[in-house]
């Protein structure tokens, strides 16, 4: 009985840490953008969806054509997701959001919700409404056993990814000049502007970094999450794009 209780507690703890890591990667960009720009970005989930579709397409092309060593697929996934972020993030920020920085919060919510609808339809137009499956990256790291429980190694790589992202964010905000300026803008935009800080230029960097966060999270779906365009809604933070990993540690 005691052994079963320990096993149950371990399962709850490990699943909680893995899920928390995934949600941290998704949410950190949204929090950063909201803190600096004061914009509650309803399109954040759709950015995740586009990044996941891009990564899944790149992985399918790479493994389907047997183009190189299997582990290079991870670099390809990362590159595809970041490429989407570098293109789509500045495009949305300079093309749309910068015109609404000083507007009422309700207007910002409506604008970002409109962006969500546009991006959702765009993903369906480009990739269709069917799920994308990319099982190879999930299987390459094998399985890990704890307390008689079997987990995919990819899940623990996700924990490491979240730790690295958190440490880099902390270092960037607290140990660099740019980060300290960003924190000053977060605390008081008016005083920062009075001291000569270019608040508009300062806001663009976190906006682009924040747009990279959902793309990074798109590389780390858990087996229990099934992604489809219908789930890319502002009310669903845990499932947005339409590529799924296989149940390698069912």
- Residue 155's contacts (CB-CB under 8 Å, 6 or more residues apart) are 18, 222, 249
Token pair for residue 30?
């949204």
Q: State residue 246's pLDDT score.
A: 33
Q: State residue 4's pLDDT score.
A: 75
Token pair for residue 27?
């949410």
Token pair for residue 105?
């919060």
Place of tokens 């914009």: 39
Confidence of residue 250 (pLDDT cuts 50, 70, 90): very low
Mean pLDDT of the chain: 75
Find residue 144's DSSP bridge partners.
Answer: 151
Tell me, rounded to whole angstroms, the distance of Cα 234 from its chain centroid: 14
Q: State residue 117's pLDDT score.
A: 92
Query: How many whole angstroms separate alpha carbon 105 and alpha carbon 110?
Result: 9
Entry pTM = 0.70
**Highest averaged pLDDT of the listed ranges 22-31, 70-79, 146-155, 164-173:** 164-173
Q: State residue 190's pLDDT score.
A: 83
> What does the pLDDT look like over 178-232, one tens digit per residue?
888 888 877 887 888 888 888 777 766 555 555 555 555 555 554 443 445 544 5
Average the pLDDT over 132-142 and give the result: 77
Q: What is the DSSP string of 134-167?
A: --HHHHHT-EEEETTEEEEHHHHHHHHHHHHHHH
Looking at the chain, the whole-number percentage of residues with pLDDT higher than 90 is 6
> What does the pLDDT look like over 62-108, one tens digit per residue?
888 777 788 888 888 888 888 887 888 888 878 888 788 778 888 88
Q: Which comes out higher in pLDDT, residue 150 or 1?
A: 150
Q: Which comes out higher in pLDDT, residue 46 or 121?
A: 121
Query: How many whole angstroms separate alpha carbon 197 and alpha carbon 194?
Result: 7
Residue 196: helix, strand or coil by DSSP? coil
Query: How many whole angstroms separate alpha carbon 227 and alpha carbon 50?
Result: 12
The answer to whether 246 and 225 are in contact (CB under 8 A) is: no
- Residue 183's contacts (CB-CB under 8 Å, 6 or more residues apart) are 173, 174
């Amino acid at each position: 009985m005691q052994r079963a209780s320990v096993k149950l507690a371990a399962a709850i703890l490990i699943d909680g840490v893995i899920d928390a890591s995934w949600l941290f990667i998704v949410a950190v960009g949204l929090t950063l953008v909201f803190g600096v720009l004061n914009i509650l970005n309803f399109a954040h989930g759709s950015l995740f969806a586009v990044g996941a579709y891009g990564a899944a397409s790149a992985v399918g092309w790479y493994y389907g054509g047997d183009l190189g060593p299997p582990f290079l697929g991870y670099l390809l996934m990362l590159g595809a997701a970041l490429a989407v972020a570098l293109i789509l993030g500045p495009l949305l920020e300079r093309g749309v959001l910068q015109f609404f920085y000083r507007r009422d919060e309700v207007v910002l919510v409506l604008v970002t919700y409109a962006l969500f609808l546009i991006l959702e339809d765009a993903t369906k137009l480009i990739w269709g409404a069917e799920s994308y499956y990319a099982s190879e990256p999930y299987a390459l790291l094998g399985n890990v056993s704890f307390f008689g429980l079997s987990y995919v190694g990819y899940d623990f790589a996700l924990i490491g990814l979240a730790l690295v992202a958190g440490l880099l964010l902390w270092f960037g905000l607290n140990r660099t000049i740019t980060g300290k300026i960003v924190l000053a803008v977060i605390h008081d935009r008016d005083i920062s502007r009075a001291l000569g800080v270019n608040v508009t230029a300062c806001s663009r960097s976190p906006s682009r970094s924040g747009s990279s966060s959902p793309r990074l999270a798109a590389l780390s779906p858990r087996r229990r999450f099934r992604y489809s365009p219908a789930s890319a809604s502002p009310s669903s933070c845990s499932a947005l794009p339409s590529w799924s990993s296989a149940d390698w540690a069912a």
